[in-house]
Amino acid sequence: MAGPLRTPGFRDWLAKNEAIQAFRRMRAGSDLHSKLIGAGVDPGLLEQFLASDRSRKIEGASPDARACGRKLGELVERGGMVAGGAALRRRLGARPSGDVDVFFRGFAAWAQATLETRAFPAIDACWFEREPWEAFDLAASCIAFGKDGDSSCPECEQALSAGVCDVRLDRIFHPVATLGRVAKYGDRWGFKFPAGKLAQIAALHGVAGAVVDRAFVHAI
């Protein structure tokens, strides 16, 4: 990246990452620890986390598909929303993929879900404040489902209808990853992307080479 982005989206992303790092550095008895317990986060799971290596996932954990399905169902029933690629696959009638991102509103709910899913490599707990897709860079991925049904943003519905997917320039946090997703969504689902925006990403962030070439295959 040529320089830090100064958009509201970048600032929100940065603030969340700082909060996540504070969670991983948390000490027993700290203000954050007390606040999470006060918000209903399981004290036993917190204790286990603090006594562990604090990795996102427990090394070697490999629950079977039935256990993963039960856990996912529990998370959704409790208000979690599956968003992004897994929700898009469901909308398009494709077979489920191995990995699922489940989004929870607010830091405490995310912390609880994170602790619960450390033994589930295929389930990642994520955090949102307004909409599950608030940090997503491709319009086609701005779709989610939960216990109350499906939801999406208007730009996602337009992409699904027209086959042309917008790129949200104020949500470009990792430009190489964004261009990689452009190539993946183009290859997998046949989406086309605005050439001007792809060129803007490459120029603004100094990205060149194969990743740009693969993305521009799907430019329009």
Instruction: Give 104-117 pLDDT, tens digit per residue.
Output: 999 999 999 999 99
Average pLDDT over residues 168-174: 91
pLDDT score, position 1: 39
Range list of β-strands (E), 61-142 = 81-83, 100-105, 123-128
Average pLDDT over residues 21-27: 96
Say how many CA atoms lie within 13 Å of 64 toward its Cβ: 1
Average pLDDT over residues 98-126: 96
Instruction: Give the SS3 label for residue 163.
Output: coil
Average pLDDT, the chain: 93
The structure's pTM equals 0.91
Under a CB-based contact definition with an 8 Å cutoff, are residues 167 and 192 in contact?
A: no
Residue 4, token pair as written in the block: 């830090």
pLDDT score, position 6: 61
Q: What share of the chain is helix, strand, coil (3-state, %, to 5)?
A: 50, 15, 35
Confidence category of residue 5, pLDDT binned at 50, 70, 90: low
Q: What is the largest CA-CA distance in the chain?
A: 55
pLDDT score, position 205: 80
